Amino acid sequence: MIKSENRKHKTVVLLIDFIGAPLLGDDYVNNRRYSELQRLALGNNIDKEKLIIVTNTKKGNDRKLDAILTMCKTHYGFKVVQLSEYNEIKSMTITYIDSLVHQAIGWHARPSDTQIIIGGCEFGGCVINAKPISAVHWSKIGYQTIIHLPMCAEYEQPGVNSTEKAYNGFKQVYDHIKEHNAFDIQLTDKFEQLNFSFNRYDEE
């Protein structure tokens, strides 16, 4: 768990390639990340002016994700950025995400006050390093970077079942963290480990 004195006031929840490849996964792998995202949506005491959800999964490509993000926006008041044009998605960078965040919620993501919580598919690839918005790239420019394991899935790594795919994914993550000297990236496995900003009346 992040120490309270190191807690960042703002949070970008970044969902990378969330749809994955469901034909290559079992029921648990295919559903766990959506369940965890729904748990976030139900966090009524989270300060919604200090948290935004961003995904590079195109609208219409993942009906389950679309439904959860719609619920986040319309039922619970979260700010959500979900792109609809492939050209935008392909060109996503950290700088571009910051501009989208500022446009949607009115503040900039900065290493000094913003944590990046990442979930998505291909834990050993796109989540950790394969895209310009992957975890190591945030970490290298000073952001407090957290990969939240229940919001991740691994389909690409070889393995006869989800267990083998997962531990091959973990091996890839460790190798990339070591390669980039990104040992400050944190891996969390419990929702309670995510130190969001809360409305004051809920902290008392």
SS (H, E, C) the chain: CCCHHHCCCEEEEEEECCCCCHHHCCHHHHHHHHHHHHHHHCCCCECCCCEEEEECCCCCCCHHHHHHHHHHHHCCCCEEEECCCHHHHHCCCHHHHHHHHHHHHCCCCCCCCEEEEEEEECHHHHHCCCCCCCHHHHHHCCCEEEEEEEEEECCCCCCCCHHHHHHHHHHHHHHHHHHCCCCCCEEECCHHHCCCCECHHHHC
For 148, residues 6+ apart whose C-beta sits below 8 A from its C-beta are 36, 117, 118, 119, 188, 189, 194
Please calculate the CA angle 47-93-71 and round it to the nearest 5 degrees: 35
**What is the token pair recorded at 137?**
């790239």
Yes or no: say if 31 and 114 are a contact pair by the CB < 8 Å rule: no
Residue 4 lies in a domain: no
Give me the tens of pLDDT residue by residue for the chain, a chain 204 residues long: 555 445 678 999 999 999 999 999 999 999 999 999 999 988 768 999 999 999 999 999 999 999 999 999 999 999 999 987 766 777 799 999 999 999 999 999 999 999 999 999 999 999 999 999 999 999 999 999 999 999 999 999 999 999 999 999 999 999 999 999 999 999 999 988 898 888 754 444
CATH number, domain with residue 120: 3.40.50
- Cα three-residue angle 188-197-2, rounded to 5 degrees: 35
Q: Please state the domain count of the chain.
A: 1
Biggest CA–CA distance in the chain, Å, is: 49
CB atoms within 10 A of CB 48: 18
Amino acid 45: pLDDT: 86
Q: Scan for tokens 């070889």, then name that residue.
A: 158
Domain that holds residue 44: 9-200
Q: Is residue 130 part of a domain?
A: yes
Residue 14 lies in a domain: yes
Q: Is residue 58 part of a domain?
A: yes
Q: Is residue 1 part of a domain?
A: no
Establish if 2 belongs to a structural domain: no
- Quick check: is 3 in a domain? no
The predicted structure's pLDDT at residue 10: 96
Decide if 137 contacts 129 (C-beta within 8 A): yes
Whether residue 15 lies inside any domain: the answer is: yes
